[in-house]
C-alpha cells in the first residue's frame, strides 16, 4: 500500500475555508477512484497544523489517479484557493505500508 502525506499550517480563521475546499476536492477524488484519506490536526493558539494521509493500493495506482484528477479544471481552482490560505510550505512525503498491517489496523475491534 502507498501512503502520501501532506503537512501544512492554516490560520484558525481559515478552517472553514479549508473544510469547503476539502469537501469539493473529495468529490473530485471519488469521481476518479481516489483512495481513502484522513486529516489529522493539532490546534495551536493562532494556527492549526494538519497532516493529511492518503491511502492507495500502490504508487502506480496513485500516479494513474492523479493524472486524471490534475486534468480537472475545478481541482486547479481548489488548489489555488488552498495555496492562498496556508501559512507555510507544504511538506510532502511518500510511505509504504504492508497491506497486512493496514488491514489489521482498519479491522481492529474495540
Instruction: Give the count of domains, the chain.
Output: 1
Whole domain around residue 30: which residue ranges?
2-97
Answer yes or no: is 105 within a domain. no
Q: What angle do CA 70, 72, 76 make, to 5 degrees?
A: 70
Distance in angstroms (rounded) separating the CA atoms of residues 8 and 17: 14
pTM: 0.83
**What pLDDT, in 10s, does the model give residues 20-77?**
999 999 999 998 888 789 999 999 999 999 999 999 989 999 999 999 999 999 999 9
Answer yes or no: is 110 within a domain. no
Answer yes or no: is 22 within a domain. yes
Residues forming a β-bridge with 2: 56, 96
Read off the pLDDT band of 10 (50, 70, 90): very high
Collect all residues with Cβ–Cβ distance below 8 Å to 47 and sequence separation of at least 6. 9, 10, 11, 12, 87
Answer yes or no: is 102 within a domain. no
Amino acid at each position: 500500500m502507498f501512503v502520501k502525506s501532506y503537512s501544512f499550517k492554516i490560520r484558525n480563521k481559515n478552517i472553514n475555508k479549508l473544510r469547503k475546499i476539502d469537501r469539493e476536492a473529495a468529490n473530485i477524488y471519488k469521481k476518479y477512484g481516489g483512495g481513502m484519506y484522513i486529516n489529522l490536526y493539532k490546534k495551536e493558539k493562532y494556527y492549526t497544523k494538519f497532516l493529511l494521509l492518503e491511502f492507495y493500493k500502490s504508487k502506480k495506482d496513485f500516479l494513474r489517479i492523479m493524472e486524471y484528477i490534475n486534468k480537472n479544471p475545478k481541482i486547479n481552482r481548489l488548489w489555488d484557493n488552498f495555496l492562498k490560505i496556508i501559512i507555510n510550505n507544504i511538506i510532502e512525503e511518500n510511505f509504504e505500508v504492508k497491506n497486512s498491517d493496514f488491514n489489521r489496523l482498519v479491522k481492529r475491534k474495540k
